[in-house]
Structure 1
């Protein structure tokens, strides 16, 4: 392992404390010394940080790289955005523990909800495990560019114990709950950082996901198990877009966790102006929970999204059953379906009868732009609403007509929603609000979550001055490490893991998207060019040098650390 001396930089240590001039010595994967004018030893490589900041490596708080780490071990573009650790196993979904009998149903759901290539999961993962200890060993043996920390997905846990049919249909028995708790306990004892659950989603057949059928007794037993492992946390994907149900949903888990002293995160405090009413309500809920002594942390996004929506696989149209069925039908039948008068009649009726949501793109057709045409027929760069008005068509018919003309491989683009930036940054200064929740590794043809971390430093720190650099770095490193119980990383301190990033504010940017045609099934994904960070170091190994990835893969599975 190389020994490094990072010289001439300004340390932003991840705690929120003022930056200071210092050199950082790295030996054997750990920070060995911090001081001014340190002399390099004969066996040390000098990393020039002059004119730059030296910070803890950035942590991605919510990813779905559970599959990509096997077929894209470089996990680009994460290293080139200063990322050294990612959290996976989110939204109730993980690939362990997972019995072979449960694998098909769980992977189908996983790939549907996260817009991922199913064949890649089936063919590229070694599947040398069904329980967590063997999974931990497999991940630790896989050479990857960043460290990974994993939740146990409640959906995988429940389906493994109950079987796919029962898990999707009924409450668990006492014996099944006990078995789930046993498997969770084993996982936590072997490196898992907690459990994620999901009371929000539906599958491709519009059935609620299995964890929505879990009764309080099941959750209580599983949170009892979390409580046996200090530092283990619960992640909840609750009904975050339902103004009438979010409080009830969150308070259910708040009671369960508070009684057992378990920390949790819940989704989500909204960022956009169109969600102002929801933001007021969720901030009040957040403040109420903290005042009542519940160790719950709200999540909040920090990047206005311009997502792309395609017709090959997408959740966008799930609330219109006819469109949902078309999206999930075989590729060779889709165009015929769109042209079928009976299907069109049904699609119009179901479009008009759909449940509404303020943030839903199909409820705001003026915000959906025609962006990519497979055939070149067009038109492009006009909204679905404008096109429907010009053609004199119902919105559903207008969309079907455009897709017929332009091809199933075409895409819509959602206009970015305006953020209430002062409100957003005010909440990031709250010590119990999490950010960098960006779905890296998922929704590959919708957006690229990887790289959104840099936007916090460029937009909120450099361009608007709404946050200090120390606050921005703290939100991307020390705050997240503290929440997840990763006490051995997240700050620049002697003895901590040598996960570091060297950057200058005027050199970095969240770069524009481009298509990478490198998925194992031959499909493409959105990617980004390197951000401009000068150096990224994982466990004392440089994964980025002179702003370019090195191809080094020193990452491993990390977990809750004592201390």
Structure 2
């Protein structure tokens, strides 16, 4: 940790209070003074004239559990003002994890989050099975940002029950007690809560193990969370099934509310075309808050422009033949696309898929052929338009296009229109969460990292739907308060010396670029630098003059009273 004086900026302190002209002094990695015209004491100085000085931004939902080991720079997070990330989401973490359960957990983790499986085996040190050892390993692994982690319920269940049992049945009383003991130990050694998942299926279309958990299992685990002040529950519910949204969230509310446990749930939809579903979920949010349930819904704020690749992905999960093909052996893929039997099954599976309000498969007009490996094309035409032009079934048309263009080609989704005034009003409420963007996951689908800057540019600068103070509060103090990270998220004496320094007219979310830097040689999407002038972690600049410094002052953090 270091000493630093930031001079001449306009401080937006993360509480939502009006911005004010002030200097900020950091001593030993902690903010010690905030006020105008502070005298220098020989420490490093940053001139913030013409810029805002805010707390460092927090990424509320990431999957950098693996990347922190093979990409400790965690590009491009520092260049977007990020100083803290939360991982272990969606029910999956890499601790506590017995070696005997590692294979099935990593297979599920990398499938659901589109991550390179080989990298987890070759680049993660695996010097732990339980959380205390894991925390020591994370503290010794210097990163550009601070990391805070959930215990994944899927990981707990598989570690205790074994893969075969975890995927097939309810837990016994003894198994539940063992899970509770591991969770208790993890929370005592710095985990910030537990994440669970009653939404997903694995690569074989089996429901994930936590969907088999009965109420007594959840009750025992939430009892443990309740014993650790500040710890929270993260829930991935069936957010794209209108008939199940309320029931899933209310089930957890019945369990959490009597125990005083705070939770976050997915999600209030943001798109215009999902206005009917947004009304339903806003009503659910209001009902829960009015009844005293401390649940905070996730609210996305940036439209996605996802790339659909054909190397491996879960995007075709609801079309069995295509799901098997896209995740099958690369050397047989092109040949399989010519097989009449497979084609017949693919057409049938597509026609009989389960519809989803969030799926692009139900809106082939929104998917554009964007990248060709061979150059054959056509490009810049939608999947639907191409099928109609060729007079073919949608499934056959896609198969023919891939045959001509190669499996390293991509489609790109047209971004959905967001109902921005409604979203902005939700962010003005005290109990909603944003910056839920899957940083570090779905590496060949999109780059979630950097979406925080969109809240500043689109909602504050361009439309005025939020003030800068409101936008910063949503990205800093509000998130820190929810997660029990009381020592950060606000610029005040005694708080962590984590800062972002930026001018609104200098920052932008940059376009995605391909980087071939995964340990297995595969590629991922990243972004160019946002124009953030400086990012500071514990008094150490990780970005200076809008360029990364290479410093890695980050460590693992846990719950704190602040």
TM-score with structure 1 length normalisation?
A: 0.99
Structure 1 stretches of 5 or more lacking a match? none
Show the 5 A alignment for 1:141-160: 141-160=140-159
Deviations 1:71-111 (A, max 9, x none): 00000110010000000000000000001111000000000
Deviations 1:501-547 (A, max 9, x none): 11100000001111111011101111111111111100111101100
CA distance in 1: counterparts of 2:357 and 2:250, whole angstroms: 23
Show the 5 A alignment for 1:234-245: 234-245=233-244
SS at match of 1:440: coil
Are 1:274 and 1:359, in contact at CA under 8 Å, matched by a contact in 2? Answer: no
Are 2:148 and 2:558, in contact at CA under 8 Å, matched by a contact in 1? Answer: yes
SS at match of 2:438: strand
Aligned position for 2:30: 30
2:256 pairs with 1:277:
no
2:393 pairs with 1:394:
yes
Show the 5 A alignment for 1:128-527: 128-527=127-526
Are 1:151 and 1:196, in contact at CA under 8 Å, matched by a contact in 2? Answer: yes
CA distance in 2: counterparts of 1:313 and 1:206, whole angstroms: 15
Aligned position for 2:89: 90
Are 2:321 and 2:345, in contact at CA under 8 Å, matched by a contact in 1? Answer: yes
- 1:430 Cα deviation (Å)? 1.0
Are 1:510 and 1:531, in contact at CA under 8 Å, matched by a contact in 2? Answer: yes
CA distance in 1: counterparts of 2:405 and 2:71, whole angstroms: 31
SS at match of 1:339: coil
Aligned position for 1:18: 18
CA distance in 1: counterparts of 2:126 and 2:200, whole angstroms: 26
SS at match of 2:375: coil
- Length, aligned pairs only: 562
Are 2:23 and 2:34, in contact at CA under 8 Å, matched by a contact in 1? Answer: yes
- 1:359 Cα deviation (Å)? 2.2
Are 1:477 and 1:491, in contact at CA under 8 Å, matched by a contact in 2? Answer: yes
- 1:328 Cα deviation (Å)? 1.4
SS at match of 1:434: coil
CA distance in 1: counterparts of 2:506 and 2:319, whole angstroms: 45
CA distance in 1: counterparts of 2:424 and 2:372, whole angstroms: 37
- 1:357 Cα deviation (Å)? 1.4
Query: What is the RMSD computed on CA atoms of the aligned residues?
Result: 0.6
CA distance in 1: counterparts of 2:161 and 2:376, whole angstroms: 50
Are 2:2 and 2:538, in contact at CA under 8 Å, matched by a contact in 1? Answer: no
- 1:336 Cα deviation (Å)? 1.2
Deviations 1:449-501 (A, max 9, x none): 00100000000000000000000000000000000011100000001000001
CA distance in 1: counterparts of 2:41 and 2:254, whole angstroms: 55
CA distance in 2: counterparts of 1:218 and 1:358, whole angstroms: 30
TM-score with structure 2 length normalisation?
A: 1.00
CA distance in 2: counterparts of 1:30 and 1:562, whole angstroms: 15
CA distance in 1: counterparts of 2:508 and 2:338, whole angstroms: 44
SS at match of 1:551: coil
- 1:362 Cα deviation (Å)? 0.6
Aligned position for 1:532: 531
- 1:358 Cα deviation (Å)? 2.3
CA distance in 1: counterparts of 2:53 and 2:137, whole angstroms: 32
